Amino acid sequence: MSAPVSAPASAPANTPASARRAEGPLRKQKTSHDLPSLASLSLSTRGLLGGIFKRQRSFDEREATEKRQRKADEADVESGDEGDEGDEGDDAANLLKAVVFDFDGTLTTMRPLAEWPREQFEQFFDTGKGRDRIYTSAASVQGFEAMSKAEHEANFGGEAVLDGEAGLAALLAQAYNGVPPVEFYIVDPDAKQAAVLHALRETDLIGFFSSPGTKDGARVFCADVAPFADSTDAFEVHNWMVVEKIMKREIGDRVRTYWDRPAKLKKSEVLYVDDNGEVINDSIQGVKFMGVQTLHASVALQWDEVGPALFDAVLGVAD
């Protein structure tokens, strides 16, 4: 893993929210993260096993990955998604129906708050072992609750990311209210759900990550709620496991009954977005080996490049 990248200076804490914010229903402890090269920014949909064999990992690792793939294939047969090859010419079959975001560092910048003295910051946010920088992380509920609305907006990237016809709020509103609607989820094993929900309320994004017609935050999964809260010393719940449960409709909207559950999601219908390449590409626990689409990028820090890619992938329209 490459050396941590120091976070750049924060946007002014008093940055006002744009009056043109799109209308509609209302987004691990990382102490550092590596941003991908923008030149190589792309959506990946194939190559499930080839990378493993090339890396000459141990037999046990290869066997574990193959077992996961067989399990995914068996699930696809049950749901009628036997591979994606037959869907290439069918635009309707390739429409995204769900986008899963990591939170810290992906939807947020994690930059230190400009107006906070270091002493005040250290009261709320962990500096990390031996590190000299403090990161604005959703692992601290108390810290997030102490932040102002303007500071939360700045942490999401400010007006340049949130507002306007080509902003994140516009994308979420168009897709969430589209036909068919796109579901949005947050999966972060190091953030606290209360902190994330508070930030989503402060930025008027809470409704996009909730059951239809509500602001319950039912599509936000963090360290302190199941399935992540079910982790033990002997068994750790990883991101791909939570994504799999979402696809199988085992978790999600609280208003759903067994008889009202929507159809299971196919691999081609799911996009996973994370600034941490290891979570995506790890040969054993990597999300991409489920066969879903993946995007390695920070939405908050790379919106100029990520925004058009997301508009194209989610709405089928390049902005």
Tell me the pLDDT tens digit for each residue of 151-210.
999 999 999 999 999 999 999 999 999 988 999 999 999 999 999 999 999 999 999 999
Flag the least confident range among 23-27, 106-110, 141-145, 184-188: 23-27
> Taking 50 as the threshold, does the pLDDT of residue 145 lie above it?
yes
pLDDT in tens, 7-18: 444 445 454 554
- pLDDT at residue 133 in the model: 63
Q: Which carries the bigger pLDDT value, residue 165 or residue 40?
A: 165
Q: What is the DSSP letter of 163?
A: S
In whole angstroms, what is the distance from residue 125 CA to residue 136 CA?
A: 7
CA distance readout (Å), 129 to 28, 133, 189, 279 = 15, 10, 19, 21
- Cβ atoms of residues 20 and 284 within 8 Å: no
Q: How confident is the model at residue 53 (pLDDT cuts 50, 70, 90)?
A: very low
Q: Which carries the bigger pLDDT value, residue 18 or residue 225?
A: 225
- pLDDT at residue 262 in the model: 78
Q: Write down the architecture of domain 38-315 according to CATH.
A: 3-Layer(aba) Sandwich (3.40)
Burial class (CB in 10 A: 0-12, 13-18, 19+), 207: buried
In whole angstroms, what is the distance from residue 124 CA to residue 122 CA?
A: 5
Flag the least confident range among 56-60, 65-69, 144-148, 278-282: 56-60
Q: Give the type of residue at 114.
A: A
Residue of 294, 318, 239, 300 lying closest to 41 (CA atoms): 294
What are 10's two structure tokens?
Answer: 């924060």
For the chain, the domains span: 38-315
- pLDDT at residue 135 in the model: 83
Q: How confident is the model at residue 41 (pLDDT cuts 50, 70, 90)?
A: low
- pLDDT at residue 305 in the model: 95
pLDDT in tens, 79-136: 555 544 444 444 444 589 999 999 999 999 998 887 777 777 778 887 555 455 678 9
pLDDT in tens, 289-317: 999 999 999 999 999 999 999 999 999 86
Q: What is the pTM of this model?
A: 0.75
CA 92 to chain centre: 24
Three-state secondary structure of 8-75: CCCCCCCCCCCCCCCCCCCCCCCCCCCCCCHHHCCEECCCCCHHHHHCCCCHHHHHHHHHHHHHHHHH
